[in-house]
Amino acid sequence: MTISPPPDVVEDLKALDTALDEQIPLKMDSNLLIATWNLRAFSDLTEQWHADEDDSPKRDWHAVACIAEIISRFDVVAVQEVRRNITALRFLMDLLGERWHFITSDVSEGDAGNGERLSFLYDSARVQPSGLVGEIVLPPSADAPVEQFARTPYTASFLRGGVEFMLTTVHVLWGSDPDERLPELTAFAEWMRRWADRDGGWNDNLLVLGDFNLDRIGDPLYEAFMSTGLWPPAELNGVPRTIFNNDGSRHFYDQIAWFSDEDGSNLLEGMDYTGRAGYFDFLPHVFDGLTKNQISWRISDHYPLWTEFKS
């Protein structure tokens, strides 16, 4: 990007930079920062600093510069809702710079797929792909046809400091009736558990992250997520997931989790959770004067979630 941003964009980026310094651990030789972020309908782009009233989409250079500022603080980020059109993704990568790369799935076809991809963005100076990529496809059944995931979960393996870890990201099908989400969520959790238990299955340090469309702790969806030993850090239990959350309607849509044994000991090897995890609230620092809904179409309606590990 060779065009200098206007003063209001510079001010937003400075405000984000200050807030990120205060809330997100610094990148160090001894840590690994993993994040997940549902970027609402991340697709096309209005190619100017300020989208006009009649422009569509409302996401412009200003918005993507803010997204880049946030993503740059992590080592690898799972991104949901990248669409077939990757104009905004390409621009984001340009802003992040040459050390940043991405791995993305193809579009999940069909109406339920919503034209979405699942993607990983990573800082190549900090982590490197270690070879494995794949989509989760359920095995056939002799009894009846097996319904596949609406948006095929996507896996990639990475290496940091000699330790390999596998990230699987997912965007579980949304339905206003939670019962519509339960079969897909259950199938995903059970598939991941079988993978964790396989011998020689390239399954060290399995983590799942993304938008699971969970409602709340203790409901059937959350219990299905936890039933196979997936365990999200307690530090994420109290944080909001979307910019529209309030104390009366808190959800647990987005998660980062890994497997634990029945005694509570985790199955990670060579990467210890530091006890630090959270979200980042970008709302107070950007697009002064716009409503939450307006900001949601520029940046997102979801907050990024993050976790820190020793590496």
Domains and CATH numbers, the chain: 7-310 (3.60.10.10)
- What is the pLDDT, as a whole number, of residue 141? 67
Assess whether pLDDT exceeds 70 at residue 111.
no
Alpha helices in 80-239 (DSSP H): 87-96, 182-197, 220-226
H or E element in which residue 164 lies = strand 163-171
Given a contact cutoff of 8 angstroms between Cβ atoms, the answer to whether 242 and 302 are in contact is yes
Q: Residue 180 pLDDT > 70, yes or no?
A: no
Summarised one tens digit per residue, pLDDT across range 259-286 is: 877 665 677 889 999 999 999 999 999 9
**Which tops the pLDDT comparison, 227 or 80?**
80
Check whether 290 has a pLDDT greater than 60. yes
Q: Tell me, rounded to whole angstroms, the distance of Cα 162 from its chain centroid.
A: 24
75-97 confidence digits (pLDDT tens): 999 999 999 999 999 999 999 99
pLDDT (average), residues 210-223: 71
Q: Give the pair of three-digit tokens for residue 88.
A: 């905004």
**Residue 162 corresponds to which tokens in the numbers above?**
């000699």
CB 45 within 8 A of CB 67: no
Where is pLDDT greater, at 43 or 184?
43
| DSSP letter assigned to residue 230 | E
Q: What percent of the chain has pLDDT over 70?
A: 86
Q: pTM for the whole thing?
A: 0.92
- pLDDT higher than 60, residue 227: yes
Model confidence at 152, in pLDDT bands (50, 70, 90)?
confident
Look at residue 112 in the predicted model and tell me its pLDDT: 57
**Taking residues 152-169, what's their average pLDDT?**
93
Q: Is the pLDDT of residue 2 over 80?
A: no
Of the candidate ranges 31-40, 101-110, 211-220, 248-257, the one whose mean pLDDT is the lowest? 211-220
SS3 at position 246 = coil
Closest CA to 299 of 54, 70, 15: 70
Closest by CA to 294, choosing from 87, 59, 134, is 59
Mean pLDDT for 172-182 is: 63
Q: Say how many residues make up the chain.
A: 311
Q: CA–CA separation, 219 vs 296, rounded Å?
A: 27
Question: Is residue 128 predicted with pLDDT exceeding 70?
Answer: yes
Closest among 96, 91, 88, 79 to 154, alpha carbons compared: 79
What letter represents residue 297's amino acid? W
Closest by CA position to 274, among listed 33, 72, 21, 36: 33
User: Rounded to an integer, what distance in angstroms lies between the CA atom of residue 157 and that of residue 164?
Assistant: 7
Token pair 């979960």 is at which residue? 153
pLDDT band at 159 (very low <50, low <70, confident <90, very high): very high
pLDDT score at 259? 87
With tokens 């991104």, the residue in question is 79
Report the range of poorest mean pLDDT among 50-54, 76-80, 218-222, 226-230. 218-222
Contact present, 42 and 82 (Cβ < 8 Å): yes
Q: What is the band of 136 on the pLDDT scale with cuts at 50, 70, 90?
A: confident
Task: Find out whether 70 and 16 touch, Cβ atoms under 8 Å.
Answer: yes
The answer on pLDDT for 247 being more than 60 is no
> Which is nearest to 160 in space by CA: 35, 28, 266, 276?
28
- 65 pLDDT higher than 70: yes
For residue range 13-35, list pLDDT tens digits in order.
Answer: 999 999 999 999 999 999 999 99
Position 144 scores a pLDDT of 64
